[in-house]
Amino acid sequence: MSFIPFKTNKIAFESQHIRTPRDNEYLIFSRVTRQLQHAASCVDRRVVIEAVNANNELWTTLLADLSEPGNGLPDPIKAGLLSLAIFSIRQGHRVLAESASTDVLIDINLRMMKGLRGEVQP
């Protein structure tokens, strides 16, 4: 699996169907999560590094978006997502330092995907 940065891979997200911003977020989480799942069962350290790097880039992008003054999410949701972003990035660094597995990152991303699909119980 080869990672192409989100910034240079705009065309890969185009479709004949109209996607909402939420659909695009789900798609990106899905791709990165599959990368992490593959890395979890792979012995090639480079695959793990690429997957964690993709995940950190995703969460860094979300962190930047959440920090923008024009972000319309309610403050309590923003605060929770900011904390989750910081935790995910730190956990990614632990994985890179070989002191943690990708399991927590995968779990967080899967929960985010459920939330984006409205599958979360209140």
- pLDDT digit string, tens, across residues 52-64: 999 999 999 999 9
- pLDDT digit string, tens, across residues 69-88: 999 999 999 999 999 999 99
- The rounded mean pLDDT for the chain is 88
Q: Would the pLDDT of 3 be above 90?
A: no
Report the distance separating Cα 118 and Cα 122, nearest Å: 10
Q: Would the pLDDT of 38 be above 70?
A: yes
pLDDT band at 6 (very low <50, low <70, confident <90, very high): low
pLDDT at 22: 85
Report the distance separating Cα 109 and Cα 60, nearest Å: 14
pLDDT at 2: 47
**Cα four-point dihedral sign 15, 20, 26, 28:** positive
Q: What is the DSSP string of 55-73?
A: HHHHHHHHHHHHHSTT--S
pLDDT at 1: 42
Helix and strand numbers, DSSP H then E, in the chain: 4, 0
Report the distance separating Cα 36 and Cα 102, nearest Å: 7
Tell which wins on pLDDT, 48 or 118.
48
Predicted TM-score (pTM) of this structure: 0.81
